[in-house]
């Protein structure tokens, strides 16, 4: 039987809240077994870009990334956010190592072709170097990935952190029994977005298509769930979505997603 590996993702709202981030990292540090952390930081990138007089534009949940924006996201995701998270994990005795997809050639991607929209320097994941990443894990390091990949020709590319998470999980499934935890500020996927207690506890392929048809899934949740079903169809064992407390085994008020 394969060993278990947890791949945990934190989104922009947790990163923006120092206390929430600290609480999350404490829970993450106590999570048993081998683990990988992936962080976003879209909100921080938008705020810092704005201070620099650079306007941010999102289409279908993806950032239009021109050359200037690529500089900002490299500084914010690869520098500011990644290194702060790594330092805080070190303070919790987790031997974390911060990575972009260029480091140890861990995540190679391809610049998104221009169709109706030119996303600029945005990459779609092509290859996860599961064996190289595993060398770090086997050496008891905890990889911390930011939302940056590369094309193998020296070009960094911006890649949505939810997609990085699901693609990493698919790649690592060749070696491990993988579980994804998408941690965000809500308790899970909600039946009524205005009622935080309306958590849908279990989403299957069938319920997913019903929720889509009813328009219950919208905005940032659309690409998130699309990634989930792609991952489940490609070897990932379980996916959970909810607030950071779902990392403690005591809380069952979150969304579990299966085929």
Ligand X SMILES: CC(=O)N[C@@H](CCC(=O)OP(=O)(O)O)C(=O)O
> Would you say 70 and 158 are in contact if contact means Cβ atoms under 8 Å apart?
yes
Closest residue to ligand ADP, Cβ-based?
11
Rounded-to-integer distance, Cα 29 and Cα 32, Å: 8
Per-residue binding letters, 73-112, with ligand X (x by CB under 6 A): x---------------------------------------
Residues 208-227 contacting ligand ADP, CB under 6 A: 216-221, 224
Rounded-to-integer distance, Cα 236 and Cα 258, Å: 10
Of 142 and 163, CB closest to ligand X? 163
Least Å distance, CB 85 to ligand X, is 13
Is 256 marked within a binding site? no
171 binds ligand X (CB under 6 A): no
42 binds ligand X (CB under 6 A): yes
Residues 118-157 contacting ligand X, CB under 6 A: 122, 147
Of 72 and 147, CB closest to ligand ADP? 147
Least Å distance, CB 179 to ligand X, is 19
Least Å distance, CB 175 to ligand X, is 25
Helix spans in the chain (H) = 12-15, 18-30, 42-51, 67-73, 82-91, 130-138, 161-172, 205-213, 221-232
Strand arrangement of the beta sheet that strand 148-150 belongs to: 123-128, 107-111, 148-150, 156-158
Which does residue 80 bind out of ligand ADP, ligand X, none, counting CB within 5 to 8 angstroms by kind?
A: none
Of 41 and 242, CB closest to ligand X? 41
Of 48 and 104, CB closest to ligand X? 48
3-state secondary structure of 96: strand
User: Is 113 buried (19+), middle (13-18) or exposed (0-12) by CB count in 10 A?
Assistant: exposed
Apex 53 CA angle, 38 and 44, nearest 5: 20
Closest residue to ligand X, Cβ-based?
40
Least Å distance, CB 235 to ligand ADP, is 22
> Would you say 6 and 28 are in contact if contact means Cβ atoms under 8 Å apart?
no
Is 42 marked within a binding site? yes
Least Å distance, CB 141 to ligand ADP, is 25
Beta strands at 156-158 and 148-150: parallel, antiparallel or unpaired = antiparallel
Rounded-to-integer distance, Cα 129 and Cα 125, Å: 11
Per-residue binding letters, 149-188, with ligand ADP (x by CB under 6 A): -------------x---------------------x-x--
Give the largest CA-CA distance in the chain: 53
The site for ligand X (CB under 6 A) is made up of 11-12, 40-42, 45, 62-63, 73, 122, 147, 158-161
């Amino acid at each position: 039987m394969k060993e278990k590996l947890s791949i945990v993702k934190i989104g922009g709202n947790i990163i923006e809240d120092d206390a929430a981030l600290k609480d999350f990292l404490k829970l993450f540090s106590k999570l048993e077994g081998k683990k990988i952390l992936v962080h976003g930081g879209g909100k921080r990138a938008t705020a810092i870009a704005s201070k620099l007089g650079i306007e941010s534009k999102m289409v279908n949940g993806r950032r239009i990334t021109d050359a200037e924006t690529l500089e900002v996201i490299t500084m914010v995701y690869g520098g500011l956010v990644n290194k702060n998270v790594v330092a805080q994990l070190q303070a919790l005795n987790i031997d974390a190592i911060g990575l972009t997809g260029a480091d140890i050639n861990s995540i190679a991607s391809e610049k998104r072709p221009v169709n109706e929209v030119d996303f600029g320097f945005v990459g779609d994941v092509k290859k996860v170097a599961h064996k190289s990443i595993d060398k770090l894990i086997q050496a008891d390091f905890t990889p911390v990935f930011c939302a940056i990949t590369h094309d193998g020709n020296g070009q960094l590319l911006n890649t949505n952190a939810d997609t990085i998470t699901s693609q990493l999980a698919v790649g690592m499934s060749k070696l491990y029994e993988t579980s994804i935890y998408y941690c965000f500020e809500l308790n899970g996927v909600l039946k009524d977005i205005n009622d935080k207690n309306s958590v849908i506890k279990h989403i299957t392929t069938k319920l997913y298509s019903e929720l889509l048809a009813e328009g219950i899934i919208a905005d940032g949740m659309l690409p998130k769930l699309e990634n989930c079903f792609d991952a489940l169809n490609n070897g990932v064992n379980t996916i959970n979505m909810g607030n950071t407390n779902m990392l403690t085994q005591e809380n069952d008020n979150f969304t579990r997603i299966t085929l």
